[in-house]
Amino acid sequence: MARDVQVSAGAAYDLGYHIVWCPKYRRPVLTGAIAARCDELIRAKCAEQGWQVIALEVMPDHVHLFVKAHPKDSPAHVANQLKGYTSRVLRAEFASLRSRLPTLWSRSYFAATVGAVSAATVQRYIDTQYERPWRKERAE
Catalytic residue IDs = 125
Rounded to the nearest 10 degrees, how much is the dihedral formed by the CA atoms of 45, 108, 33, 139?
Answer: -160
What whole-number distance in Å separates Cα of residue 35 and Cα of residue 32? 5
Distance CA 106, CA 25 (A): 7
Partners of 12 in beta bridges: 7
Dist. CA 78–CA 66, nearest whole Å: 11
Cβ partners under 8 Å of residue 129, min gap 6:
22, 26, 62, 106, 108
